[in-house]
Chains A and B, each alone.
Chain A
Amino acid sequence: MRIGKTTILFAVLGALILAIIIIPIANIFIEQFAFDLGGFFSAIIDSAVLGAVGLSCFAAFLAVLVTSVFGVPLSYLLARKEFRGKGFIGGIVDLPMSIPHVAAGIMLLTVFGRHGLIGGPVSPFLRFEGALPGIVVAMLFVSAPFLINSAREGFQSVDPRLEKVARSLGATEWGAFWRVAFPLALPQILSGAIMSWARAISEFAAVIMLVGFFPMIAPGMIWDKFYSEGLYAGMRVAVVLLVITLAAFVGLKSLMGRMYAER
C-alpha cells in the first residue's frame, strides 16, 4: 500500500520528539567516549562513584520492593472492583507525578523528618534524615505510580472470566488471584517495576530535601561534581550511571521478552 501524506507527517512529527530524547543522550556519550575516555574509566573504578551508583540502585530496588508488596494489591482492587471513591484513589496514585519534586521533598520532610508526623515518633529506632530509609521513602513516593498504574493495566487486561473458571475448579479468591490473575499480569507488573526502578534511581530533589547529601546517591554526586569540579567531572558520573541503568533496563526487558515469548 502507498504511504499516505498523513503517515509521512506523523513520522516527521514523531522523529522530532524522538530527536529531543536521543540527541542529549547520544551527545553525552559522544562527548565522554570521544574526548574523555580515560575520565570514564577512572570514574568507573572510583569507589566513591561506584558507592553512590550502587546505593542508588539498591535504594531504588528496595523502593520497588515495598511498592510491589503494597501497590500490587491496590492495583488489583482498582482493576477489578467497583467501589465508591475509586476515581479519587486513582487520582491519588497519579498525584506524585504532578507534584514538583522539590515540593514532594518538603512534604516528605514534614512527615518523615526528625520532627515530622511519622519521623518524630519513630526517631528512637528508625531515622529517615541522612539515612537509607529516607532515600527509599523519597524514591518510593516519586516512583510508585509507574508500578501501580502498569500493574493495574496488567490486571485489567486479564479476562475476569479466567478467574471465575478458576473458582469453579476449586480455587479460592486468593488462589484465583495467585494462580491466574497475577501470573498473567506479571509481564506488565515487571515492566512497571523496571520503569519504577529507573524513575527511582534518577530522583534527586526529593531525596536531597528529605535526606540531605549524605549518604550520597548518584544524582547527588553528579550535582556535587558538577558544582565543585565542573561539567566534565559531573558528566563522567552521569555516564557511569547511564551505562549501568541502561544496561540493567535493556537486560531486564530482554529477559522478560524471552520469558514470555513462548506463550
Chain B
Amino acid sequence: MLSVRNLSKKWAEFSLKNINLDVKDMEYFAVLGPTGAGKTLLLELIAGFHRPDKGEIWMDGQALTDLPPEKRAVGFVYQDYSLFPHLTVEENVGFGLRLRKISKSEARKKMQQTMHALNISGLAKRYPKTLSGGEQQKTALARALVLEPSVLLLDEPLSAVDARARERLREELKNIHNKFGTTTIHVTHDHEEAILLGDRIGVMNDGRIIQVGDPDEIFRKPKSEFIANFVGVENIFRGKSKVKGGIAKIDIGKGVEIEAVGEKGGEVKACIRPEEIIVSKRPVKSSGRNMLRGPISEISDRGPTVRLRVDAGREFTVVITKKSFTDMRLKIGSKVYLAFKASSVHVI
C-alpha cells in the first residue's frame, strides 16, 4: 500500500498542503482536479523528483521520502509520454532493464513479454517520432511496466490524444491494469476519465485533497459546491430546508420546492445531476417525489445526447437521448414535465 502523510510542498506557482492519501495494492486510484490544483506536483513528489517541505511517503511499510527516484520502484508516464527520442521503441522499453543487474537474456525475455502484452512488438525498431499517440502511450507504459514497479504514476496520460483515440486508450489502460495489476495513480482533469477508470477517486483543488471516495460517491454525493460543479452536477440550488420524517422539503426560490432524502435542515444546497431528471410531455407516473413543469428555453445538440434548459420557475438542466428528443418532437418553448426522485437530490 502507498501512504502519503501530511505532505506539503511549495514549488513555483504550485503548492501542496497537508496531503494524506492511502492507495491500496492493485488499486486504480484517480486524482481528479482542475489545472493548477497540484496534481502533477503530487505525482512528482511520490516519484522523488522533488523533496517535500514536510510529510512522509511510505510504500509497503518502507519510507520512500528520503530515497532518490532510482531507488523507489515507481513507474512514471507523463502526458506527452516523454519517450527518449534518440532511442528506438525496444531501446526505450529496455532502458531500465539495462540499468538492472540482470542477464541480457533475461532482460530480453522480459522486454519481449511486455512488448507482446502491450501489442507493440512490431514497433521495436521504430523511433518515437514515427509513432501515433496510442503507440507512444503503449511504449511509455511498457517502459515503466517492464520493471514491475510497486506503483505506476500516470500524469494526464490521455490528454495528448484526440477524442476518438482517447476512448479507445481508456479501454486499453483498463485492460493493461487488469493484466498487470500494478497499483496505479492516474491524475486527470476529466471527470469522465476518472469515473470510468478509477476504483476510487480523490478530488484535488488548490493543493488539497478535498474528497476521496468511490466514483458513485464522488459523482452523486459531492461534499462541496466546487466538487459538484467540477464533476458535472449542473443543477445546484441554494435553498432553505425543513425536515420531516426523513424527507427534506427545500424551498429553492421563485416558488419552487423540491424534496430530498435526508435530515439536513436550514440553509442548504440541493444538487441534482442532469441525467437523473426524466423529461416528458405528460405527467410522469413514477416513484419520483418531485414533478415540475416549464417551457424549454435552450437546446444544445451533443451528438448522441441533447442538453435542455427548462424554466420550471428555476432553470433546470437535463440531458436526454437524441432518440427521446426526436420522439417527443421537442423545440424551444415546448412545455415539459421534469420528474426526479427525492433520493436523486443530494443535499450539501
B82 touches which of A161, A183, A263 (Cβ 8 Å): A161
The smallest beta-carbon distance between A161 and chain B, in angstroms, is 5
Residues of A within 8 A of B44 (CB): 164
Most buried by A among B44, B49, B76, B82: B82
A170 touches which of B47, B70, B82 (Cβ 8 Å): B70
- Verify A162–B96 contact, CB threshold 8 A: no
- Verify B70–A263 contact, CB threshold 8 A: no
Q: Is B85 an interface residue (CB 8 A)?
A: yes
Q: Is A47 an interface residue (CB 8 A)?
A: no
- Verify A184–B68 contact, CB threshold 8 A: no
Residues of A within 8 A of B99 (CB): 169-171, 175
Q: Is A262 an interface residue (CB 8 A)?
A: yes
Interface string of B68-94 (1 = CB under 8 A from A): 111010111010001011100000000
Known: A164-B47, A164-B76, A166-B95. A172 touches B82 (CB 8 A): no
Q: How far, in angstroms, from A169 to B84 measured CA to CA in the complex? A: 12
User: Which residues, 79 to 104 on A, are CB-close (under 8 Å) to B?
Assistant: none
Residues of B within 8 A of A166 (CB): 84, 95
A167 touches which of B69, B84, B129 (Cβ 8 Å): B69
Q: How far, in angstroms, from A167 to B44 measured CA to CA in the complex? A: 11
User: Which residues, 130 to 162 on B, are CB-close (under 8 Å) to A?
Assistant: 143-144, 147
Q: Is A168 an interface residue (CB 8 A)?
A: yes
- Verify B70–A171 contact, CB threshold 8 A: yes
Q: Is A159 an interface residue (CB 8 A)?
A: yes
Known: A164-B76, A175-B99, A263-B129. A169 touches B147 (CB 8 A): yes
Q: Is B230 an interface residue (CB 8 A)?
A: no
The smallest beta-carbon distance between B66 and chain A, in angstroms, is 15
The smallest beta-carbon distance between A179 and chain B, in angstroms, is 8
A184 touches which of B69, B76, B85 (Cβ 8 Å): B85
Residues of A within 8 A of B96 (CB): 169-170
Q: How far, in angstroms, from A262 to B44 measured CA to CA in the complex? A: 32
Chain B interface: which size bin? 20 to 34
Q: Is A231 an interface residue (CB 8 A)?
A: no
Identity of the chain B residue whose Cβ is nearest the Cβ of A186 in the assembled complex: B86
- Verify B144–A169 contact, CB threshold 8 A: yes
Q: Is A243 an interface residue (CB 8 A)?
A: no
The smallest beta-carbon distance between A258 and chain B, in angstroms, is 15
Q: Is A44 an interface residue (CB 8 A)?
A: no
Residues of B within 8 A of A170 (CB): 70, 96, 99-100, 147
- Verify A168–B84 contact, CB threshold 8 A: no
Q: Is A240 an interface residue (CB 8 A)?
A: no
Residues of B within 8 A of A167 (CB): 47-49, 68-70
Q: Is A13 an interface residue (CB 8 A)?
A: no
The smallest beta-carbon distance between B332 and chain A, in angstroms, is 44
Q: Is B127 an interface residue (CB 8 A)?
A: yes
Most buried by B among A165, A173, A175, A184: A165
Residues of A within 8 A of B147 (CB): 169-170
Interface string of B112-123 (1 = CB under 8 A from A): 000000000000
User: Which residues, 244 to 292 on B, are CB-close (under 8 Å) to A?
Assistant: none
Q: How far, in angstroms, from A159 to B143 measured CA to CA in the complex? A: 18
The smallest beta-carbon distance between A245 and chain B, in angstroms, is 30
Residues of B within 8 A of A175 (CB): 70, 99
- Verify B127–A161 contact, CB threshold 8 A: no
12 contacts between A and B (CB under 8 A): A161-B78, A161-B82, A164-B49, A164-B69, A165-B82, A165-B84, A167-B69, A169-B70, A169-B96, A170-B70, A171-B95, A180-B84
Which residues on A are within 8 Å of B, measured CB to CB? 159, 161-162, 164-173, 175, 179-180, 183-184, 262-263
Which residues on B are within 8 Å of A, measured CB to CB? 44, 47-49, 68-70, 72, 74-76, 78, 82, 84-86, 95-96, 99-100, 127, 129, 143-144, 147
